């Protein structure tokens, strides 16, 4: 009976105009996102070839990450040029388009399409799975046969999930294959493994919202009521809660702005220059003291900023959309944790390169900057596994709530 229900749901979707409209829209958006982000990656790769530092220059620059096509995250901040100076680390602004219109309409990446569009598509597939049958009077006819309510829910969920997952994976697979054929990016084995994890997280996220739609459909008496409730819940989970969590964390943790930090470093530098002019022969010692003061200033800022990030993530994880974004970006190597680790490595690089820089500004003895991204195991151990498990837990809870609701409901 389970297979019969699954086949019935798939056949009903294939014969419905809603299925083709929704799937066509989602496919066009996914394909467009991969195409646009692929061109953006190739442009950033060309820019990297121009700004890549010469050997011996105390500059830290990372090449663009091919997986940023899927999850852009903090890629622009991570691929900036970090120049080591006596006054500290000068982070040059990232690449921006000459067309100002692009600042108002940035290209959405794959993760954004899944977070916003595919979650809404899943709700549209699930909002009337139960209440439509109740309104049509077919629910009591189905349950009059030797089929349990659990089997009915599982069959409906599985049929609609396959109707969503198969076209989604096909379109994504074709887009990734075409991106791999263009010159420039090189997909390695570890990258393909990370890509598979991102797709797995996307499927878990889609399954979560399909379970949410099934839950509300089992609770509501009318399809129109279920649709309105789900649209409100979708806006709350995808847009409102993540932003409210960030605002609440900012109220709890006071972090100085980047501009204030830059002005503070400039004030310290000006003070030491004036003191060195009035007190001859103390410049070398003052450079060492200046470096220590800058390090303490940066350390205090990083401690406050890390506290803000941890609190924001804890609050934002109430939303499954935030958990999905955290998991996908960290797996891709463009997340908050990866950017924080990069900054720590840049500071260590500054401490190694600064002695040569203070001795001779024209010296070519500064070591080259090298950075290794965290492995998948390190990413999962640092919180990625929790975010993935949280998505699964959300989905199981919503499905369990729909089962409890249909057990208590009157099918007549």
Provide the pLDDT for residue 404.
Answer: 93
Domain ranges of the chain: 2-408
Q: What is the pLDDT of residues 69-127, one digit of tens each?
A: 899 999 988 888 888 776 667 777 655 544 444 555 566 889 999 999 999 999 999 99
What's the mean pLDDT in 46-51?
85
Q: Are 372 and 349 in contact (CB under 8 A)?
A: no
Q: Are 334 and 73 in contact (CB under 8 A)?
A: yes
Provide the pLDDT for residue 101.
Answer: 47
Angle at 277 between CA 276 and CA 283, to 5 degrees: 30
Owner of token pair 């995250």 = 73
CA distance to 8, 130, 134, 148, per residue, from 127 (Å):
17, 8, 13, 21
Give the residue with greater pLDDT, 357 vs 156: 156
Provide the pLDDT for residue 328.
Answer: 96
Q: What is the pLDDT of residues 142-191, one digit of tens each?
A: 888 888 889 999 999 999 999 999 999 998 988 888 877 766 667 788 88
Q: What is the pLDDT of residues 360-398, one digit of tens each?
A: 544 446 778 888 889 999 999 988 999 999 999 999 999
Q: Are 366 and 353 in contact (CB under 8 A)?
A: yes
């Amino acid at each position: 009976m389970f297979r019969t229900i699954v086949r019935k749901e798939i056949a009903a979707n294939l014969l419905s105009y809603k299925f083709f409209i929704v799937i066509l829209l989602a496919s066009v958006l996914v394909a467009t996102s991969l195409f646009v982000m692929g061109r953006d990656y190739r442009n950033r790769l060309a820019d990297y070839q121009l700004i890549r530092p010469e050997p011996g220059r105390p500059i830290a620059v990372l090449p663009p990450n091919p997986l940023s096509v899927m999850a852009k995250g903090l890629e622009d901040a991570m691929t900036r040029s970090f120049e080591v100076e006596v006054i500290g680390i000068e982070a040059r602004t990232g690449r921006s388009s000459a067309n100002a219109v692009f600042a108002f309409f940035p290209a959405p990446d794959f993760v954004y399409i899944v977070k916003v569009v595919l979650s809404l598509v899943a709700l549209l597939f699930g909002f009337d799975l139960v209440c439509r049958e109740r309104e049509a009077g077919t629910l009591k006819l189905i349950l009059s046969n030797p089929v349990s309510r659990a089997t009915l829910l599982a069959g409906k969920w599985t049929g609609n999930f396959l109707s969503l997952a198969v076209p989604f994976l096909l379109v994504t697979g074709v887009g990734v294959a075409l991106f791999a054929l263009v010159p420039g990016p090189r997909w390695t084995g570890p990258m393909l493994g990370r890509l598979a994890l991102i797709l797995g997280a996307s499927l878990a996220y889609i399954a979560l919202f399909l379970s949410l739609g099934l839950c509300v459909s089992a609770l509501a008496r009318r399809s129109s009521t279920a649709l309105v409730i789900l649209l409100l819940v979708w806006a709350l989970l995808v847009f409102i809660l993540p932003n409210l969590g960030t605002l609440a964390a900012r109220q709890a943790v006071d972090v100085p702005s980047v501009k204030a930090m830059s002005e503070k470093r400039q004030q310290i530098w000006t003070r030491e220059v004036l003191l060195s002019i009035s007190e001859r022969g103390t410049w070398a010692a003052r450079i060492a003291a200046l470096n220590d003061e800058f390090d303490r200033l940066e350390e205090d800022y990083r401690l406050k900023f890390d506290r803000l990030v941890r609190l924001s993530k804890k609050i934002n994880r109430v939303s499954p959309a935030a958990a999905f974004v955290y998991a996908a970006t960290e797996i891709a190597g463009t997340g908050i944790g990866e950017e924080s680790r990069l900054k720590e490595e840049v500071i260590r690089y500054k401490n190694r390169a600064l002695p040569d820089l203070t001795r001779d500004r024209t010296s070519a003895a500064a070591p080259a900057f090298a950075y290794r991204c965290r492995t998948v195991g390190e990413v999962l151990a640092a919180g990625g596994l929790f975010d993935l498990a949280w998505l699964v837990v959300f989905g199981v809870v919503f499905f369990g709530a729909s089962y409890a609701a249909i057990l208590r409901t009157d099918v007549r």
